[in-house]
């Protein structure tokens, strides 16, 4: 097939299509619809540590009932956690405080599925992302970059599919009429996308700005109003940018992250974060996010960086951080700019060792202490307001006289903005 042209279902009859399938409404509908067109459908479902999942056996059963020729479960929790740590090391949240949890998971998914396709000789990749969202860009660009020979079929950009299905209601009717045991219903007020790093809630009642973020039912924790009345002290120890201990107990990354999710979620940390964001396609959308572990670990890492980075390094770090965040959000995780940006952060990551203590209370993560930060630039003797130390206040006299030369020059040249 010509990879540069749009693909429609009418051209896929008799061919094999590999779908990135969650087992939800969209993937069940697409699987059944393609099977009805004479397409052999293979569904790839990733184990991303989804906290809302009812079991992969149930997913397999749904997709087989929907007409899949085969359902393959691909393990991906470890690579997702590794990517999540890169997000934390870059402090790569998008706009308000969205930790790019869904975005970064798309690249892990596409990497796993395209590797499976390569190993088995499949050439047509499909996904259920809509034609007005960010995920279609992430799926398409990641697949194009990782295997430029792949053909990408997007049902939500196929006029024949769009004519049949205008939205969730038609898909629900379609699946129910064919006995596919979907969990979606017309009464469900919003949709959720989940992985171990976090949850994205959107659509339905959340599209209306007068619906508060508390309208969601949290899966990874509680709303702040339901959080404990007593604060909790938590410490996180990092070694070269990786969290290795929680409250002094050394743990591998997976159980540590699970514990961070549980601890943060219990106190409402990173739960029901509301954001009206700018999608890459040019429209605004509203999301309500849950990411307690990312918020807890990411906040502690940010506090660690405050001790390590000098002024010039901080300025460069912030530029790189924003670049990485945009790259993730807009579909460019695998390109040269991302590789360059991540390599630029490596010197910082190597220095990021030490323990940060925080207090969790009603959704807040507050600094409580730091120790063992071997690369810290903070010296209480130098910055003290109580004692001179090795920094002689009088030395600032000459420093300010030098700075004053340019300040006076600006005044003489009438370049100073007056009141």
| Catalytic annotation present for 135 | yes
Residue 183's SS3 state is coil
**Residue carrying structure tokens 């604060």:** 231
Instruction: Please pick, among 40, 60, 62, 106, the residue that the annotation labels catalytic.
Output: 106
The catalytically annotated residue of 40, 126, 135, 138 is 135
Give the rounded distance of the alpha carbon of 237 from its chain centre.
Answer: 22
Show the tokens assigned to 150.
């792949």
Sign of CA dihedral 294, 295, 300, 306: positive
| Positive or negative: CA dihedral 337, 341, 342, 344 | positive
Q: Alpha carbon 307 to chain centroid distance?
A: 26
Question: Taking Cα atoms as reference points, which of 112, 152, 108, 145 lies closest to residue 129?
Answer: 152
Q: Are 31 and 61 in contact (CB under 8 A)?
A: no
Q: What is the largest CA-CA distance in the chain?
A: 84
Annotation says 191 is catalytic = yes
Phi/psi at 174 (5° precision): -60, -50
Q: Tell me which residue of 248, 281, 267, 257 sits closest to 371, measured CA to CA.
A: 248
**Residue 396: its H or E element:** helix 396-412
User: Under 8 Å CB-to-CB from 116, ≥6 apart: which residues?
Assistant: 18, 44, 72, 74, 122
Cα–Cα distance between 110 and 125 in angstroms, integer?
9
- Mapped onto helix, strand or coil, the DSSP state of residue 72 is strand
Catalytic one among 8, 97, 157, 191? 191
Beta strands 70-75 and 40-47: pairing type?
Answer: parallel
Residue 38 zone, left/alpha/beta (φ > 0; ψ -120 to 50; rest): left
Identify which of 232, 300, 302, 293 has the alpha carbon closest to the alpha carbon of residue 257. Answer: 293
Separation CA 25–CA 383 (nearest Å): 59
- Catalytic annotation present for 173: no
Cα–Cα distance measured from residue 325 to residue 121, given in angstroms and rounded to the nearest whole number: 34
Angle, to 10 degrees, between the axis of helix 77-90 and the axis of helix 253-266? 60
**Residue from 22, 26, 193, 321 carrying the catalytic annotation:** 26
Q: DSSP characters for 83-125? A: HHHHHHHHT--BTTTB--HHHHHHHHHHHHHHHHHHHHT--EE
Sheet strands side by side (includes 40-47): 70-75, 40-47, 16-20, 124-126, 151-153
Residue with token string 């949890």: 101
Q: List the catalytic residues.
A: 26, 106, 135, 191
């Amino acid at each position: 097939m010509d990879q540069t042209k749009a693909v429609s279902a009418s051209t896929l009859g008799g061919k094999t299509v590999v779908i990135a399938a969650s087992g939800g409404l969209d993937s069940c509908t697409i699987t059944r619809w393609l099977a009805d067109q004479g397409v052999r459908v293979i569904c790839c479902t990733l184990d991303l540590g989804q906290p809302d999942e009812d079991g992969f056996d149930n997913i397999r059963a749904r997709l087989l009932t929907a007409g899949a020729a085969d359902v393959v479960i691909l393990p991906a929790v470890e690579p997702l956690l590794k990517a999540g740590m890169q997000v934390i090391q870059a402090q790569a949240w998008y706009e308000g405080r969205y930790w790019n949890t869904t975005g970064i998971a798309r690249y892990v998914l596409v990497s796993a599925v395209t590797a499976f396709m390569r190993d088995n000789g499949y050439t047509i990749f499909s996904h259920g992302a809509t034609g007005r969202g960010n995920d279609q860009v992430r799926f398409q660009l990641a697949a194009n970059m990782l295997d430029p020979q792949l053909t990408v079929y997007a049902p939500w950009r196929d006029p024949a599919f769009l004519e049949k299905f205008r939205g969730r209601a038609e898909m629900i009717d379609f699946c129910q009429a064919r006995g596919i045991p979907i969990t979606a219903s017309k009464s469900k007020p919003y949709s959720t996308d989940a992985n171990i790093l976090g949850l994205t809630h959107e659509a339905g009642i959340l599209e209306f700005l007068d619906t508060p973020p508390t309208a969601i039912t949290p899966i990874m924790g509680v709303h702040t109003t339901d959080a404990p009345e007593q604060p909790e002290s938590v410490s996180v120890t990092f070694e070269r940018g990786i969290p290795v201990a929680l409250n002094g107990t050394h743990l591998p990354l997976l159980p540590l992250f699970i514990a961070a999710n549980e601890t943060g979620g219990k106190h409402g940390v990173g739960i029901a974060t509301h954001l009206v964001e700018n999608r890459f396609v040019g429209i605004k959308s509203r999301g309500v996010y849950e990411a307690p572990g990312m918020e807890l670990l990411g906040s502690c890492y940010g506090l660690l960086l405050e001790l390590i980075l000098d002024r010039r390094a901080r300025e460069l770090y912030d530029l790189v951080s924003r670049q990485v965040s945009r790259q993730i959000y807009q579909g460019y995780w695998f390109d040269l700019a991302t590789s360059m940006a991540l390599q630029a952060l490596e010197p910082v990551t190597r220095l990021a060792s030490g323990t940060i203590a925080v207090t969790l209370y009603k959704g807040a993560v507050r600094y409580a202490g730091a120790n063992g930060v071997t690369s810290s630039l903070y010296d209480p003797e130098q910055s003290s307001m109580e004692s001179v130390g090795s920094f002689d206040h009088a030395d600032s006299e000459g420093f300010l006289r030098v700075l004053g030369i340019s300040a006076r020059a600006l005044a003489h040249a009438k370049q100073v903005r007056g009141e």
